[in-house]
Amino acid sequence: MRGLARLVAGLPDGARHALAVALGRGFAALPLRRRQVALANLALAFPELAPAARRALLRTSMTYWAQTVVEIMELAGRRLSAEALRARVTLDGRTHLDAALAQGRGVIALSAHIGNFPLAVFALAAYGYRTAAVYKEGSALEDGFFGHLMQAYGVTPIRVDRHRQSVARGVLAALREGSVVLMQIDQAVRDGIPVEFFGRPARTPVGPAVLARRSGAPVLPMFMFHAGRGHRLQFAAPLALSTVADPQQALHEDVQAMTRVIEAVVRAHPAEWYWVHRRWADKGGER
């Protein structure tokens, strides 16, 4: 993986862009199972769109996704300076982040698989913020590659193991240190709770809601968008947690409110989202 990353990093900028476009369009055109999953998801989310429009949306989405993959390979193949990362990523709504961190409890950055989300945490570290990110356990190769990459760019990796036992400890420790902790809840998990997403029940992780109450850390929506050849990292005001007395109802309301935020962003930027995941799977999604 690192050897391939060095090859990608050695390409001229124009060649890397052309590679990303070719990969994205190729995936969107081939009769692959994941492509069918993506088209089915688009039909559920946007039934008003004609099939041709959904296919066009998928082509754009996969081109963005391929650009993310190529850019991450570039970042792995050659170490970019903090100055170079800041030049690629502009921060929008930074005052929300600074005000939340001033409370002294760290920040849970509520996010989703939108735009170049790995670059988001690298950029935050480049801007001088203490940063951590929760990521799924994968193969030994994946864990080694992404874990090494995050550490190389000053990000603390918090791996979700199969039993999810280490996540809470890692997140709470990072929050106590004043970190911004990236947590994504837009993919189905078996131990999630069903809340509405695009009008249909979808099993959703509860981690940000539970850990926000345990730690007192504010929950800030944070999303990454493509902006030409660069990126825009946008922050919004902190989310208010439910005030109902019943813990289970409060948890459901918190997770539903967070999911509504993500749905609104996906509706506004549908080409930026990762449509190939089985988001509405009854027993949890798949990698």
* Section 13-20 average pLDDT: 88
pLDDT confidence of residue 184: 95
pLDDT confidence of residue 39: 94
pLDDT tens per residue across span 202-229? 999 999 999 999 999 999 999 999 998 8
pLDDT tens per residue across span 59-89? 999 999 999 989 999 998 988 999 999 999 9
Three-point CA angle 8, 20, 36, nearest 5°: 130
Query: What is the pTM assigned to this prediction?
Result: 0.92
Which of 22, 55, 41 has the alpha carbon at shortest distance from 274? 41
Q: How far is 95 from 285, CA to CA, in rounded Å?
A: 35
pLDDT tens per residue across span 112-126? 999 999 999 999 999
Mean pLDDT across the chain: 91
pLDDT confidence of residue 139: 57
Q: How far is 20 from 184, CA to CA, in rounded Å?
A: 24
Answer yes or no: is pLDDT of 138 > 80. no
pLDDT tens per residue across span 171-208? 999 999 999 999 999 999 888 999 999 999 999 999 99
pLDDT confidence of residue 287: 43
Q: How far is 85 from 121, CA to CA, in rounded Å?
A: 11
Q: Where are the beta strands (DSSP E) in the chain?
A: 89-92, 107-111, 131-136, 155-160, 180-184, 193-197, 200-204, 219-227, 230-235
Tokens matching residue 149: 């990459």
Answer yes or no: is pLDDT of 285 > 60. no
Mapped to the 3 state alphabet, what secondary structure does 182-234 carry?
EEECCCCCCCCEEEEECCEEEEECCHHHHHHHHHCCCEEEEEEEEECCEEEEE
137 — pLDDT class (breaks 50, 70, 90): low
